[in-house]
Amino acid sequence: MALLFCLGTVALAGINYQQIRIGYHTFQVEVADTPETWARGLMYRTFLPKHRGMLFMFDRTDIHTFWMKNTVIPLDMIWISDSDKIVYMKSKAQPLDTTIINPGVEAKYVLEIRGGLAQEYRYVVGDMVLFIPSLDKAKAMSTPGRLE
């Protein structure tokens, strides 16, 4: 099953957001792209709506490890390679667990969504991922046939 990710960036209150489409499901995710946002992640959040999440965008492809310290909601973590494939998934990572989650494979991005959704939506390792860059809104509006 091939899945498509559609990304569009919006900055609100100093936080960058991305629209991500996976198969038939769209997520509004916060972008974590600095050491500070990588470290904070989704810590201390008490609720994550079904259509929300966080996308960790790293400077380089590497084995990026995670843990659930100070994270009080279960999460699905999806590692995405620089060749646009899902390379590893951790389903329902346990809240507050300080055990290191090591995918054992290199990735460029990690997507965190509400725990259980990856299984519910049937995402699997190997699914292709297509990143579509955001368009400048004014340019998109002036392009014939372009929908917002």
Kindly give the confidence (pLDDT) of every residue in the chain, 148 residues in length, as a single tens digit, with 9 standing for 90 and above: 444 444 444 444 567 877 777 777 878 888 899 999 899 999 999 999 998 999 999 999 999 999 999 999 999 999 999 987 899 999 999 999 999 999 999 999 999 999 999 999 999 998 876 665 554 333 333 333 333 3
Inter-residue contact 24 to 1 (CB < 8 Å): no
Closest CA relative to residue 59, chosen from 18, 114, 109: 109
pTM (predicted TM-score): 0.80
Topology of domain 29-123, per CATH? Jelly Rolls (2.60.120)
Q: How far apart are CA 52 and CA 7, in angstroms?
A: 13
Q: How far is the CA of 48 from the CAs of 26, 35, 96, 115, in angstroms? A: 14, 22, 15, 9
Q: How far apart are CA 55 and CA 139, in angstroms?
A: 26
Inter-residue contact 78 to 129 (CB < 8 Å): no
Q: Write down the domain spans for the chain.
A: 29-123
Strand order in the sheet with 86-93: 9-12, 15-22, 25-32, 52-62, 107-114, 75-80, 86-93
